[in-house]
Amino acid sequence: MKFGLARVSTDKQDTAMQIDALTKYGVDEIVEEKVTGTGTRKKRPVLDELLGRLRTGDTFVVYNLRRLGRRAVPLMMLLEEFQEKGIEFVSLTENIDTTTPMGKAVAGILCIFAQMDRDIIVSNVRAGLDAARARGRVGGRPPLKKAKVELAMKMYFSKEYSIREIMEASGIGRSAIFEYAKVYKKEYAPDEGCQQ
């Protein structure tokens, strides 16, 4: 049986192009997955479930290798696992078919290029952040405006508002409110703040 995977990395992306290509190839069953999480630690329950269903003689088809990941070692391990279990692997974009010696060689090379592509992206991001820092810009969340912090602290130490009310009025998160309270305690009140 031929199983196809249509997989994207965000909710905003569409799998239609992949599904069209997989259908044209003649896949019997297509599963879709929108990956959750960030970076290289993304959750992939649909892919993991599909991989668990594959049996000897099945064919696993993807639009391209990136649908499985960008790290060379996990990709190579997956391809080796397919080989050991007698599962055929096809990547449509790269025209890989691991039932042939040439297909196996090309798969190994492309896994290396996938890893290199990821490393280049990471390197470019780091270089961009370094360049921004050199110009005095810092990434991450912008600092909170002092007026919002002061509003939150006045409400907190008045003991008249719940933490939820303070969060809604100031736009500051729960943990940040408690952190600021430690800093502003002497300025606003020598005793304990409101309880929640």
List active site positions.
9
CA distances for 3 relative to 45, 58, 107, angstroms: 16, 7, 18
Q: Specify the length of the chain in residues.
A: 196
Tell me if 50 sits within 8 A of 10, measured CB to CB.
Answer: no
Beta bridge partners of 61: 4, 90
Distance, CA of 44 to CA of 41 (rounded, Å): 9
Distance, CA of 61 to CA of 47 (rounded, Å): 12
